[in-house]
Structures are given as structure tokens and as C-alpha cells.
């Protein structure tokens, strides 16, 4: 085996003077899906960018270029590049004239992506670059994501980057930073890691990443001689600009930074698709300025990002520190808050996260199969391709115009198709593994899809076998739900013992039933359950339902409340029979009661640019406060011995036939002898929203009597929490107080905390004391010419069904629950049909999460010298993938000081942990994306104004013994490559 480990960093700012030197960075910003699909973009310009740039770089030793998104480059490399092009790329990389920046599959969004998926897409890109070229990116170029997350400095420091570059931050903040020359700093993203994993950060000035288009060089915008890419065929014309304008712009920008080193990006979206025209005009312009340097006071040179940061680093200045804060939300003008995309295309956001969760399960499932069944009949290379198809799709959709929902409908369809194809492929793989490990057959049921059954069941479909796989490395007790056609069934485990279960009428269909099965699973293991038609005393409990009349919310008598209790061992939920709304929740352990009311509301937005600011895919600009559109609520309470479900139907009025919204709330009870810690302490809520009326944005607001002072806490990318005090702005305060909720949000006062956990990203806000509201869905149309031209009006008529877990408790109790509960929601058990044999559970301590157990299929040597020699010799074959090499990432879930016990370091014995997989032969500690041996990774240490330690752990926490055994503190991640000894079947 061998191992990967990663860390965090932050950086500040300092002063300097001298001759102005402009570092001209040639680039082309290529969106991996936005207005046009990847295939359309490859045809129109992306392939031409790499072909023409490589050819033109070879014609002038002074010329340079940076490449960012690997998806386009990989497609070009595999399908377009000639052998000569490939030789030239190798040469240009060795000469430092072509540089890969970031190196991920895409330039991912920072607001609504989960940290798991950010790491995946970086790993995909970095693995390709290291396999193909033996190179590892050292700098970022995150110029287009809509706001910056505090996870990013952590992530990029862990990936081995020396410096980080961003652009899109709030317009008024950027203006202040420009005036005070504070656009460069050391960014510390994690309070636990502090200076151990900080990163130097450069914020681009007001011109952002494009060559200035405001300067009147010609009838073309900016310096774009090769024009604007036209789909499907780009033009070949070009125009020449005025030379002195560039000098004036360089001097203007120099005044905003502390040194005389000016980063001058040359390019923009879809540029350099005809690099011959571009470079042939750039060369004489740069030559002209340098020949008149004495007159202009400026020199210019072609550069890469590393050239610029190297010059800055050589200044040896002392920089200010940005501590533990992000740059969200992002606004470009007073009425242009980019907080709408936190919720845009909610269906895509949900599918993307489900795909990511399935990929995680499929990776560990396949890894166990390869090790336990080395002679198995499932072709390992075919299996790897199935996993790679979903890795590619999940990586691709993390693009900042993908999961954000800011793409055109046809691009959304492209993402969905790639995700669904990948999901089907991984499900095929998991089914194939099941088929290979027992005597099974496949039946076709067009209602439920293919089912894998024991061969003796192929002739009598009266018994259903269900395999439930736990992708987490802890023991879990939870419920899985199976749709049934019969109400009288029994459930049994592998030994034939009855299993607690409950069946009830489905809320969605009068012809089906929902069977809730209580499952207890060890980490990374599975159990088989059989479901039989039954009428005996071992049958699943049949729940009963009580329906209450529809009530008008506003006319309710607040003085004479009639309360209905719905309870389990942890909570008592009170429903107000006068309104059919929730009234309160009592934490039964502490006997603390919090008044809680939940309602659906809608923001109305303008669709006519002649009447004021508009909302679109990106922007949220409400006309005023949220409006209560549903006036009446219907109520049904389903009661059983295991599950109690509250069904609330929201209608426009008391006589409306169709409801507008639905909320299902469930609480669970388990028999004695079962671990109910996580299951009991959550109220599971599932909503049904849509289709909305046009220009409506639907929210679900939870109002409490907690004295929160309008302060909200939300997560950065499912990693760490950010405090969000309410801020008052002259304009658009509602939208500018919306934040991304990737996984977690909570409000609290001195006594209690109310937590919401989500299985997809949403916008979230606290617009009043004791309130938290989550935006669930958006349907928008406007007549803004830009939106109409690019088909970005978000006329989304879909129905969305998001799920949340609500947790209420004291701060200390909530701290223990929310991290593990969030992961339990993210990685719910996978239900399959069939049976398996041989089970080797994997269990970690309660404060650790096994994030990755995967066979990446990398062909590169982990010895860097050997890898470079292999590349030089041309050794890179698909069949060289070593299926004994396992990628293992373990994450410590708790911050320093968050919990007196769980925040402490934990010890893991890898031999014991993985004994079911085989003998650990070798452990290598690697960087986060796997391309660096951590012992050889040396990142630049930038001088900062302070070196404050928060009392966290040291940079290195890994002590390898012969076991091997290791101590994991909140270094945030440990990442290993493990090599396992071959086993016989």
C-alpha cells in the first residue's frame, strides 16, 4: 500500500518600488460547458486553441501560454493532436513555455461544490498530467468562479500549490483593496491548520482575467485580433491596435499593487483559437514597448503564472494575512448579487451529488472485490472504465457553469446525460460483482428495473433478496425504503431471523406501499435481507393514518391552540391543529422546548429590464420580502411502531384541488438493543416543490423563538463552518445576505442549536431573528438581451424533491451529532438486489471519515525519477494499471476545540483496518491528489505579518510503524497509496 497526506495555508501583503515590469500571461478561458456543449466548443474553437498555440509557440522562443481546464486538453490530446504535436508539447513543457495551471479536469465552482468532488476533479486532472508528462501543477488560476470559498486555500495548499490567483470578489471590497494595495495576501482557510497550510493569494484587479476591452484599440474589443469565436465555425480575420494604450493600462494597474511587477492577462473567453494571428500581432507590440522602455518606463515579457509569482516571491516581502474567511456572496453591482445560482437547477444539483455518492460506494465495492476475488470473472479493465465514466461525469459537472445551474438548457442536458450514463455504468459494475460471487439470475421488471435473484427464485418470484451496502467506515443503524405492491410482507436477515420493518401507504401513489426496513451494517460491508409475502405474526407492522381537515393559516385562533404530539425517544413534535403547521419541538433529553413553525413562501422577481433589476441563473434580486402564496394546509399523520410521518399539503386556498407544496417529516424509533444515536436524533424532512409560476423563487422558512440576533452559520463545501452575521446594505439586503449551503446550516442562541443538513446545495439566509430560510427552487424568465442571446433565462418547470435532516439540541450535543449525521446523509446505504458471500467490515474511530477507498488505475510510477525516465522512453500503456494499488484518504471531521473528545487526534492501525482486503506491503504518504511523495513536496513559505498558532497540530501527524500505525490529527486529510499483496482466490 501507499499513502497520501495534505495540508492548508494562508498569506498576507507588503511594499516595493522600481522599474515597472509587465508579465504578459497569454491564456484562453474555455468553459467546460456553458452556452455550448463540450462537443460544440471543441469544434468551434477549443481544438484549434491547442493546435494553433502549440504550433505558434514553436515559432518563437519568447512566446508562452498557460493551459487550465484538462477536459478540453485531454480530448485534444486523445482525438486531435498528432504525434508531432505531442512531441512539441513535451518540449514546450520542459522549456517552461507551456504551463498547466490548476491542472484539474475543470475550473470548479467554489460556492456549491462539495469538497469530495473538488478533490476528485483535481485528482483526475493531476493524474493525467503526471502520467502523461511527469509534471505537477504548482499554481492556481481560479479567475471565473462566482466568489471564493475558504476551503480553496486549504485544498490548493494540500495539493502542493505555491500560490493562488482569484478574481471574482465583491465589487466594493475589491475597490477598497485596490485603493489600499491589499489585493495580495496570505490566506489562511482553516482555523485548525492555521499557518501550516496557508497560501499566497493574488486577487486580480477590476479588469479581471480579460485583456481590457474598455480601451478603444480598434473596432474589435481589446486585443483580440482573431475576433470572437462563432459557432460552429470561427472567422480568421484580425485587426491591429494602438500600442501606447497597453502602457497606460499597465501603469494604471501598477498603482493598485505593492510591487512593480504587474500581472497582465492577455486573452479572454474562447480566445487564441487562431494563435497565428494573435501571436503575430502580439510580438511586434511587445517588441515596440521594450524598444521604447526608457520613454514608457515599462518593460514587457511573455510569461507564465509561475514566472510572475517567482518574481513576486523573490522580493521577499512581508504580507498581510486573511484569516479564516471567504469571499461570498459575490456582487458586481448594488442590485447584482450572485446568490441565485446557489439554487439554480436544483434537479441537476441533486443528481450530481447522488452520482458522487454512488461513485464513492462503487469505488470501495470494486476495491474489495478485486482484493477478495483476484480470480473473479469481472474484467478489471472493463470495471475500471465504468468507474472512470462516472469519475469523468462527476468531475465535469463541478465546472463553474455546471453544477451552478448557470448553463443553457442543452448544456444542462449534456451534464445530465453524462451523469446518468455514469450512474448506469457503475450500477452495472456493482450488479456484475454480485452476479460473479453467487449463483444468481437476472429478471426484468419494467416497474422496478432489472433485479438480480438467486437462481432458485427465477421460477417463483415470491421472495425478494435485497443487498444493502454501507459505504461508510462506521457501523450504522438506519432505515432503507423499498417500494412494494403488497401490504402484508415479512423481512428476514441472512440467518432467517425476523427484521423490524414497517409498511405504509405511499404518499405519492395510492397503488403502492413503502416498506421501511431497519438495517444494521458494519463499515464498508453489506447484509442480505429477504422480503416474503406474509400474513403471520412476523409481518411488518402496518402503519395507520389519520387525516385532518384543511385549515386556513391566517384565520387560526392563536388563543385556543389544540396541539397534536408526534414523538419518539428524542423529540416531541407538536402540531397546531388550528393551522396544521408545526408548533414546537421538545428535546426530551434536556426537556428544552423550542417554538418552531415551518412554511413555504415565494419571492416575486422582476422579468422586465425596463422596470428594474432582474433575477436570472446567476442573480437573485427580489422585489421585496417573501410572500405566503399558500393559504391553507392539509394534514395527515401516519403512525407506526418504527416510523411516524407528518404529511403537510399546502394549497392556494381551502377549495383548491391541487396542492402547491408538500412537506413530509419523519421521526424514527428503534427497538431495544439497537444503536439509535443518529437515527433518533433527526427529523427527516422531504419536500415536493414545483412546477412554479413564472418569476417565482420558492423558499422553506423555519421560524423559532431562539434569540439568534439574525446570525447564521453555513458550511464551506461540506468542510468547515462560517459565521454569517446579518449585514444591512443600502440596496438588495435580502439577496446579499444569502449564502451557499452545500451541506450544513444552523442557527443558535445561548441554550439551543437548530441544524439543517442537506443532500444537495441550496441558498440559505436568516432574514429575521430566530429564522432560517432555504431556497428550494427557481423559475425565471426575463427580457435581458444578454440572457436571451445565450438562452440563460432559467425557465425551469421541473418538480424538485430535496431532503433535509433537522437536528435540535444543546450546542455540545449538536457538535457531536452534526458531522457524522451530515456524512450519513451524504452516503446513505446503496440498495441492490441479489446476494453476496464473504464480508470484511472496516471500522474507523468515531471522529474519522474514510473518504476514499479506490483503485485509481494510475499507470505512473510513484518514484518521480523513474516516472520521468518512463515518459522519456515512451512507456505508458493502458494495461499497466496495477490493481493492487489502492488510494486511501482519511479525514478528521472535527476542528480544534469543537468537541473535548472528538477533536482529539485518533490512532489508526492500517493492518487491522484493512485486514479484510489483504496484506499491506507498502505505504506511501502522498499529496492530496496523489502525484507527490509528501517527503519531497516543498511549498514556498511566504513571509507574513504574523505567525499566530491556534494551538493546532503540527504539520505532520503521521508516524509509520511496521504495523503500519498512524496518528491522525486535524491535518484535515491523510492520503495514502497502498500496495496490497496478491492473494489467491
Give the active site residues.
144
Question: Checking DSSP bridges between strand 753-758 and strand 803-809, what pairing results, if any?
Answer: antiparallel
Question: How far from the centroid of its chain's Cα atoms is residue 726's Cα?
Answer: 25
3-state secondary structure of 930: coil
What's the burial of 283, exposed, middle or buried (CB within 10 Å: 0-12/13-18/19+)? middle
From the list 270, 35, 42, 30, the residue with the least C-alpha distance to 790 is 35
Question: What is the H or E stretch that residue 863 is in?
Answer: none
Whether 596 and 695 have beta carbons less than 8 Å apart is answered as: no
Q: Cα 215 vs. chain centroid, distance in angstroms?
A: 38
User: 236: burial class by Cβ within 10 Å (0-12, 13-18, 19+)?
Assistant: exposed
- Other CB atoms within 10 A of residue 530 CB: 18
Give the Cα separation of 355 and 116 in Å (integer).
Answer: 12
Listed residue (587, 487, 497) closest to 541, CA to CA = 487
Closest to 979 in 3D by CA, of 922, 909, 906, 895: 922
Q: Is 962 helix (H, G, I), strand (E, B) or coil?
A: coil
For residue 922, give every residue at least 6 positions away whose Cβ sits within 8 Å of its Cβ, in sequence order, or none.
1, 2, 978, 979
Alpha helices in 791-932 (DSSP H): 811-826, 864-873, 910-913
C-beta separation of 928 from 973 below 8 A:
yes
Strand partners, 198: 9
Q: Which residues have C-beta within 8 Å of that of residue 250, sequence separation ≥ 6?
A: 20, 22, 262, 264, 298, 300
Contact (Cβ atoms closer than 8 angstroms) between residue 420 and residue 351: yes
Q: Give CA–CA dist 742/493, Å, rounded.
A: 36
Element at 430 (helix H, strand E): helix 409-436
My answer on whether omega of the bond before 329 falls inside 30° of 0, hence cis, is: yes
User: Radius of gyration (Cα) for the chain, nearest Å?
Assistant: 29
Task: Give the whole-angstrom CA distance, residue 391 versus residue 387.
Answer: 6
**Backbone phi, psi, residue 854, to 5°:** -150, 150
What cell does 23 get? 508579465
Q: For 523-558, what is the HEC assignment?
A: CCCEEEEEEEECCCCCCCEECEEEEEEEEECCCCCC
731 in the Ramachandran plot: left (φ > 0), alpha (ψ -120 to 50) or beta? Answer: beta
Nearest residue to 917 (alpha-carbon basis) of 834, 836, 838: 838
Residues 194, 248 contacting (CB under 8 angstroms): no
CB 706 within 8 A of CB 594: yes
Contact 253, 261 (CB under 8 A): no
Q: Which one, of 350, 547, 474, lies nearest residue 849 by Cα?
A: 474
- Rounded to whole angstroms, the Cα distance separating 822 from 744 reads 7
Q: Which residue has the cell 426530551?
A: 588
Residue 575 grid coordinates? 402540531
Cα 33 vs. chain centroid, distance in angstroms? 17
CA-nearest of 113, 83, 10 to 949 is: 10
Amino acid at each position: 500500500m501507499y499513502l497520501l497526506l495534505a495540508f492548508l495555508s494562508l498569506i498576507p501583503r507588503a511594499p516595493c518600488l522600481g522599474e515597472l515590469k509587465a508579465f504578459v500571461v497569454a491564456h484562453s478561458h474555455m468553459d467546460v460547458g456553458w452556452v455550448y456543449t463540450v462537443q460544440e466548443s471543441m469544434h468551434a474553437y477549443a481544438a484549434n486553441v491547442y493546435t494553433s498555440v502549440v504550433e505558434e509557440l514553436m515559432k518563437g522562443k519568447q512566446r508562452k501560454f498557460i493551459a487550465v481546464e484538462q477536459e478540453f486538453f485531454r480530448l485534444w490530446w486523445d482525438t486531435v493532436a498528432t504525434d508531432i504535436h505531442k512531441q512539441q508539447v513535451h518540449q514546450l513543457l520542459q522549456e517552461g513555455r507551456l504551463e498547466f495551471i490548476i491542472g484539474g479536469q475543470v475550473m470548479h465552482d467554489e460556492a456549491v461544490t462539495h469538497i469530495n468532488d473538488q478533490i476528485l476533479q483535481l485528482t483526475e486532472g493531476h493524474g493525467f498530467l503526471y502520467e502523461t508528462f511527469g509534471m505537477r501543477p504548482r499554481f492556481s488560476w481560479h479567475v471565473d468562479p462566482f466568489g471564493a470559498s475558504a476551503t480553496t486555500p486549504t485544498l490548493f495548499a494540500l495539493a502542493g500549490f505555491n500560490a493562488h490567483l482569484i478574481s471574482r470578489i465583491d465589487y466594493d471590497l475589491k475597490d477598497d483593496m485596490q485603493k489600499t494595495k491589499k489585493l495580495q495576501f496570505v490566506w489562511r482557510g482553516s482555523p485548525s491548520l492555521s499557518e501550516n497550510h496557508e497560501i499566497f493569494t493574488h486577487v486580480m484587479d477590476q479588469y479581471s482575467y480579460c485583456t481590457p476591452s474598455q480601451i478603444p484599440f480598434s473596432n474589435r474589443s481589446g486585443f483580440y485580433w482573431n475576433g470572437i469565436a462563432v459557432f460552429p465555425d470561427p472567422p480568421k480575420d484580425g485587426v491591429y491596435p494602438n500600442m501606447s494604450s497597453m502602457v497606460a493600462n499597465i501603469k494604471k494597474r501598477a498603482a493598485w499593487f505593492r510591487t512593480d511587477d504587474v500581472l497582465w492577462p492577455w486573452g479572454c473567453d474562447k480566445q487564441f483559437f487562431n494563435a497565428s494571428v494573435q501571436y503575430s500581432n502580439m510580438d511586434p507590440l511587445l517588441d515596440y514597448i521594450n524598444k521604447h522602455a526608457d520613454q514608457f518606463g515599462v518593460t514587457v515579457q511573455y510569461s507564465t503564472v509561475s514566472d510572475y509569482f517567482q518574481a513576486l516571491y523573490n522580493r521577499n516581502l512581508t504580507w498581510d494575512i486573511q484569516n479564516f474567511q471567504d469571499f461570498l456572496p459575490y456582487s458586481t453591482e448594488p442590485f447584482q448579487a450572485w446568490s441565485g445560482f446557489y439554487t439554480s437547477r436544483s434537479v441537476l444539483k441533486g443528481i450530481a451529488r447522488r452520482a458522487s455518492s454512488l461513485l464513492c460506494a462503487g469505488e470501495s465495492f470494486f476495491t474489495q472485490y478485486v482484493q477478495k476475488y483476484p480470480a473473479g470473472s469481472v474484467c478489471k479493465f472493463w470495471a475500471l472504465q465504468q468507474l472512470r465514466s462516472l469519475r469523468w461525469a462527476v468531475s465535469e459537472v463541478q465546472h463553474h457553469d455546471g453544477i451552478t445551474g448557470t448553463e443553457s438548457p442543452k448544456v444542462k442536458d449534456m451534464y445530465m446525460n453524462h451523469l446518468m450514463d455514469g450512474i448506469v455504468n457503475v450500477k452495472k459494475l456493482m450488479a456484475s460483482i454480485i452476479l460473479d460471487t453467487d449463483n444468481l439470475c437476472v429478471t426484468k421488471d419494467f416497474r422496478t428495473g432489472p433485479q438480480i435473484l438467486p437462481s432458485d427464485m427465477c421460477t417463483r418470484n415470491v421472495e425478494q433478496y435485497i443487498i444493502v451496502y454501507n459505504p461508510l467506515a462506521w457501523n450504522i443503524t438506519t432505515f432503507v425504503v423499498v417500494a412494494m405492491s403488497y401490504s402484508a410482507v415479512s423481512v428476514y436477515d441472512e440467518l432467517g431471523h425476523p427484521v423490524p420493518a414497517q409498511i405504509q401507504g405511499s404518499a405519492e401513489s395510492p397503488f403502492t406501499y413503502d416498506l421501511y426496513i431497519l438495517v444494521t451494517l458494519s463499515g464498508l460491508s453489506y447484509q442480505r435481507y429477504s422480503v416474503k409475502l406474509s400474513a403471520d405474526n412476523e409481518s411488518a407492522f402496518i402503519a395507520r393514518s389519520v387525516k385532518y381537515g384543511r385549515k386556513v393559516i391566517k384565520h387560526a385562533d392563536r388563543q385556543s391552540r389544540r396541539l397534536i404530539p408526534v414523538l419518539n425517544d428524542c423529540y416531541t413534535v407538536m402540531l397546531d391543529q388550528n393551522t396544521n403547521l408545526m408548533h414546537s419541538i421538545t428535546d426530551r433529553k434536556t426537556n428544552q422546548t423550542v417554538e418552531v413553525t415551518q412554511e413555504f413562501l415565494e419571492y416575486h422577481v422582476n422579468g422586465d429590464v425596463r422596470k428594474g433589476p432582474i433575477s436570472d441563473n446567476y442573480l437573485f434580486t427580489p422585489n421585496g420580502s417573501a410572500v405566503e402564496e399558500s393559504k391553507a394546509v392539509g394534514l395527515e399523520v401516519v403512525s407506526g411502531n418504527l416510523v411516524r410521518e407528518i404529511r403537510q399539503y399546502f394549497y392556494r386556498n381551502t377549495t383548491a384541488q391541487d396542492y402547491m407544496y408538500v412537506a413530509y417529516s419523519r421521526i424514527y424509533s428503534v427497538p431495544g438493543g439497537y444503536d439509535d444515536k443518529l437515527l433518533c436524533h433527526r427529523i427527516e424532512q422531504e419536500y415536493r416543490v414545483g412546477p412554479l409560476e413564472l418569476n417565482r423563487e420558492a423558499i422553506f422558512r423555519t421560524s423559532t423563538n431562539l434569540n439568534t440576533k439574525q446570525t447564521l452559520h453555513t458550511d464551506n463545501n461540506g468542510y468547515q463552518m462560517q459565521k454569517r452575521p446579518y449585514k444591512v446594505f443600502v440596496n438588495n439586503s435580502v439577496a446579499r445576505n444569502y449564502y451557499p449551503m452545500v451541506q450544513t446550516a444552523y442557527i443558535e442562541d445561548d441554550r439551543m442549536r437548530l441544524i439543517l443538513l442537506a443532500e444537495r446545495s441550496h441558498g440559505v439566509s436568516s432574514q429575521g431573528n430566530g429564522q432560517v430560510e432555504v431556497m428550494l427552487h427557481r423559475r425565471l424568465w426575463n427580457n435581458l438581451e444578454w440572457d436571451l442571446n445565450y438562452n440563460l433565462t432559467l425557465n425551469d418547470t421541473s418538480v424538485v424533491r430535496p431532503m433535509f435532516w433537522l437536528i435540535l439540541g444543546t450546542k455540545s450535543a449538536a457538535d457531536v451529532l452534526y458531522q457524522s449525521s451530515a456524512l450519513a446523509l451524504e452516503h446513505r446505504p446503496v440498495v441492490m438486489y441479489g446476494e453476496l458471500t464473504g464480508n470484511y467490515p472496516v471500522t474507523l474511530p468515531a471522529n474519522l471519515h474514510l473518504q476514499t477507498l479506490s483503485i485509481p488505475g494510475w499507470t505512473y510510477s510513484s518514484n518521480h525519477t523513474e516516472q520521468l525516465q518512463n515518459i522519456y522512453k515512451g512507456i505508458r500503456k493502458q494495461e499497466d494499471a496495477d490493481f493492487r494499488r489502492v488510494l486511501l484518504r482519511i479525514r478528521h471531521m472535527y476542528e480544534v476545540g469543537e468537541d473535548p473528545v472528538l477533536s482529539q487526534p485518533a490512532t489508526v492501525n492500517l493492518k487491522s483496518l484493512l485486514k479484510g482486503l489483504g496484506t499491506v506491503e507498502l505505504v506511501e504518504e502522498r499529496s492530496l491528489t496523489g502525484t507527490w511523495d509528501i517527503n519531497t513536496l516543498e511549498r514556498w513559505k511566504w513571509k507574513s505579518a504574523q505567525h499566530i498558532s491556534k494551538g493546532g497540530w503540527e504539520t505532520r501527524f503521521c508516524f509509520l510503524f511496521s504495523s503500519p500505525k498512524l496518528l491522525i490529527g486535524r491535518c484535515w486529510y491523510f492520503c495514502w497509496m497502498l500496495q496490497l499483496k496478491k492473494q489467491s482466490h
